[in-house]
Amino acid sequence: MTSLCPQMWTQLSHRRSWRVNEELDRLEWRSMSAPLVSFRDVEKTYRSLQGVDYKAVEHFSVDIEAGEFFCLLGPSGCGKTTVLKMLAGFEAPTAGQILMDGRPVTGASRERAVVFQGDDSLYGWLTAVENVEFGLRMRRVARAERRERALRYLDLVGLTGQAQKYPAELSGGMKQRIQIARVLANEPKMLLMDEPFAALDAQTRALMQEELASIWQAERTTVLFITHDIDEAVTLGQRIGVMRAGPGSQVKGVIDVALNGARSRTDDVFLKYYRQVHDMIRDEVAAAVGRARRA
Ligand code: ADP
Ligand code: MG
């Protein structure tokens, strides 16, 4: 094999397209760094009020890398919220381990901010900007600094003009955006989102997806995004973890979505991923529907 002198290597690497560069960086970085989050053989068994056990997830294992947008997709009732709550520290696994930065998750932490579906936890007596700066106020961040930071995040979610409005004066989509600005203002290491746009109308939802994608491009906060919607997963995810139907749900497979930048639902490559995910999840949806009918 002919060897290349350093100058030739430099020339060659300059000629690599940005896309190839980005892909190589990603692979190199992934092989070098430890994951931010590791689910290891996690199990969660619930006990009903009648004393009956139900094993929602079992042998659930997956790694999430720092800075990635990871979508967890699965049929209704398969255990997605259970997984998110365990990582949030709201529920403890009954077996296995969840590690963040190599340390077991033992409870809730400001490092992991949670946004739930149709979350309406804004304080009605505070304006939009006061809601966004609330966490910073609790942490005694100086007034000028917290206002500046809150306005920056309101701007990021496109709501600068609504800063002085109260939640009752805002639409559902705007409230959800303020919610996101509020958690981002606390600068968490990770964002845990449980079907956050499921309650919005189709147009607002598409707009919110676009905005979240561009916020993530700008901030690169690690995101675990839960959805039952294939279209949403392919629109947003860098990787998509597909869950099996319960009981004892686990990750069936993880699909790498090599789409950078804006994603269009009409692109062939978008449809290719859509089909790939659809093929993987189809049987699980059928199993979940069958189980719900029998239960
Ligand atoms: P998903 O978010 O995928 O729709 P969940 O994680 O909410 O699913 O629930 C998974 C399974 O665990 C479901 O069958 C649900 O009925 C059951 N489950 C969830 N929470 C509890 C609970 N607190 N007690 C008993 N069973 C529960
Ligand atoms: Mg759920």
What residue spans define the domains of the chain?
A: 35-101+189-295, 122-188
Q: Rounded to an integer, what distance in angstroms lies between the CA atom of residue 47 and that of residue 55?
A: 9
pLDDT at 134: 95
Positive/negative CA dihedral, 34, 240, 272, 217 = negative
Specify whether domain 35-101+189-295 bears CATH 2.40.128.130: no
Distance CA 24, CA 70 (A): 19
For residue 201, the tally of other CB atoms under 10 A from its CB is: 12
Q: Is 47 in the pocket of ligand 1 (CB under 6 A)?
A: no
pLDDT, position 120: 77
Residue 246 near ligand 1, beta carbon < 6 Å = yes
Indicate the pLDDT class of residue 145, thresholds 50, 70 and 90.
very high
What is the per-residue pLDDT for 27? Answer: 58
Q: Could you tell me the pLDDT band of residue 200, with boundaries at 50, 70 and 90? A: confident
Instruction: Report the pLDDT value the prediction gives residue 261, as an integer from 0 to 100.
Output: 67
Atom index in ligand 1 nearest the CA of residue 85 equals: 6
| pLDDT higher than threshold 60 for residue 12 | no
pLDDT at 28: 57
Q: Is the CB of 74 under 6 A from ligand 1?
A: yes
Mutate to test the pocket of ligand 1, among 82, 114, 229, 244 (most ligand atoms within 8 A of CB): 82
Q: Is the CB of 82 under 6 A from ligand 1?
A: yes
User: Of 156-160, 277-281, 291-295, which gets the smallest average pLDDT?
Assistant: 291-295
Which pLDDT score is estimated for 137?
A: 94
Is 79 near ligand 1, meaning CB less than 6 Å away?
Answer: yes
